[in-house]
Amino acid sequence: MDVAHYLATYVHTMQPLNEEQSWELFKLKFSGKKDRGTELGPQMEKIGKQLVQQCRGLPLAIANISGVLKRMDFNGWVKLLETLQRDPHLELIEVSLAQSYHALPFHLKPCFLYFGHFPPDQAIPVDKLCLLWMAEGLISMRDPDRRKMEVAEEYFRELVYRSPLFMAEMEPVLDFIKTGSCQLYEKIRGVSIHEWKQDEFFEVIDFDKANGRLSRTHRLAIYLYKYKDTNYLLEIPTNVKRIIRSILFYDADTKSLSNSTWPKELSDLKEFHRTRVLDFSKVDFRIRKLPKGIDKLTYLRYLSFGGCYLSAFPASLSNFPFLETLDLRVRVSCVMTIPNVLRKLLNLRHLYFPLACRSDTNDKLKLNGLKKLQVLQNFPAGVCDADDLLQLENLEIFTGIMDGNNIDLEKTIISINGMKSLCRSSLVVKAFDSYSEERRLIVARLLEHNAIHSLDIEGYLGVFPRLDKGINSNFTELIFNGSEFSDDPMPILGKLPNLRSLVLCNDAFIGESMTLSKDGFPQLTSLKLATLQFLYYLEVETGSMPSLNIITVEQCDKLCWLSLVLKEIPTLQKLMIGSMPHTFQRRVKYLVEEARAYRENDELTATFYDC
């Protein structure tokens, strides 16, 4: 479906900027304010204008080149202009990006090259990228007291800062990247590919050539979704198989593949016995069977089935003495059966469970052997033994999924309280209707527990629980789903000093009026209100949410009035309005226009869409 047509009936055709407009945009992007161009100095302004002319009035090109030039000194500007003047066929962006790459510190260059092997237009999860860098040995640990993931995230942030064509969506919560994905524009991806081809850093098999013979590379990326012809001859000499360190398979979310087999050279992986990284992305193993020989790859550090459809985890894949990362985050529609073998992976540091899984027996899975585990995500309390959590003495990041069982939830709360190394914990509690006093007491314990940073709770609560110790001030994210609060919860939630994200959805509040008070929500960056069918009036007092970045309002059918002074929130950038009444949409449009007129250089946007 065409996105522009989906979101709006009017499509604006962009025209190139004239010379004056181009220079004004450059100054804005370069320094943050239009009136600070004089800080460039007369010489830099002269060179800068000549470089901006190369952008041909294209706003995106101007924005990108401003980011490149911001990181160069005056000599770099002159050198760039001289290069372009010598060869008029060169593209400004490509030349500047190549110079930016060569100016990267040595430790960041291989990390940058790593981006080039990902399929075009694919969003790259930040956590996966960092884990791959770590498994590849690209992270230099000079300080033994720092976590390797912490250093990898620092590398990523430095690349974001140094790479203006690099798109990133991430939200820091405390000291961690909570969620995020990144993607390279085609120009910068081209620079990455050009550079790693020079060094044989990666080999991409996209099956476009008639036949393929590999060079002496250490890394393979295979675009399986392009493999259609079973007659394609792929040659991987034995001496090359012996030096391969990474194999990454990329497939597509579709069953319309004309070929469900593997290339012969990749149907059995036992000869790739020195492989450290094995990544299957979006492979449907109902269509393509799991390749043979994976259990022979005893040097594996990283094994991932992210986005795949794998209904059963093979018990044979538990004899990897060096494995540090196991990612079982298969498709949401896939329920994975897991045998009780994970505890044998004694060197494991990062374990990611599927969103839905089950044991292959009636017994719960044991994790008590994973003494080195640092990250445990999607821990299924109904499938694993929660008592084992206390034995994970090095666990730093924990995300648990509870199915509403009182005993499992109680055990998990006790375990979280006893984890001495825990830096961040998140709980998702499903179908937890609290009609009994016992249930309400458990919810109260969850809200009081100061070791929980993120809580997503689904089910009826009715009233906000009475909290003898007060609500946990360490919360950074809260999601209330179907809570049916009769009283406005905002006066209580607004006092949380560290709350970054708040979601109320599916009648989490059944009152008519909601007020966000002055000085409330000092750190909130994201607020979402969805399917609150009784909400009529939303008032945001001046001074509330001073750090807000995005407001999302969806399917609140009776909400017709929004009391909000957008110009009082200088950090606000996005309003996402989904399936809302026309009166509410008109009100939002008026507020946005008012804020734009008041705040110079404002980038505030409002997006209207159907849910």
Ranges of each domain in the chain = 16-102, 106-187
Residue-level pLDDT at 561: 74
Q: What is the CA radius of gyration of the chain?
A: 27
Token pair for 86? 């010598």
pLDDT tens profile 154-181:
898 888 776 654 555 544 443 333 447 7
**Residue 98, burial from CB neighbour count under 10 angstroms (0-12, 13-18, 19+):** middle
CA 71-77-83 angle, 5° bins: 125
**Residue 315, burial from CB neighbour count under 10 angstroms (0-12, 13-18, 19+):** middle
pLDDT tens profile 479-517:
999 999 999 999 999 999 999 999 999 999 999 999 999
**pLDDT band, residue 363 (cuts 50/70/90):** very high
SS3 at position 355: coil
- Contact call for residues 429 and 404 (beta carbons, < 8 A): yes
Helices 19-31 and 42-53, packing angle to 10 deg: 120
Token pair for 420? 């001495």
Residue 397, pLDDT > 60, answer yes
Q: What's the average model confidence in pLDDT over 311-328? A: 96
Residue-level pLDDT at 178: 46
Q: What's the average model confidence in pLDDT over 274-292? A: 94
**pLDDT band, residue 325 (cuts 50/70/90):** very high
Residue-level pLDDT at 11: 36
Report the number of secondary-structure helices (H) and strands (E) in the chain. Answer: 15, 27
Residue 599, pLDDT > 80, answer no
Residue-level pLDDT at 175: 38
CA pair distance 325, 302, nearest whole angstrom: 5
The pTM for the full model equals: 0.83
CA pair distance 593, 339, nearest whole angstrom: 58
Residue-level pLDDT at 403: 85
- Sorted by sequence, the CB contacts under 8 Å of residue 115 that are 6+ apart come out as 124, 184, 188, 189, 192
Residue 32, pLDDT > 90, answer no
Residue 211, pLDDT > 60, answer no
Tell me the percentage of the chain whose pLDDT exceeds 70: 85
Compute the mean pLDDT over every residue in the chain, rounded to the nearest whole number.
84
Residue-level pLDDT at 38: 47
As a CATH number, domain 16-102 is 1.10.8
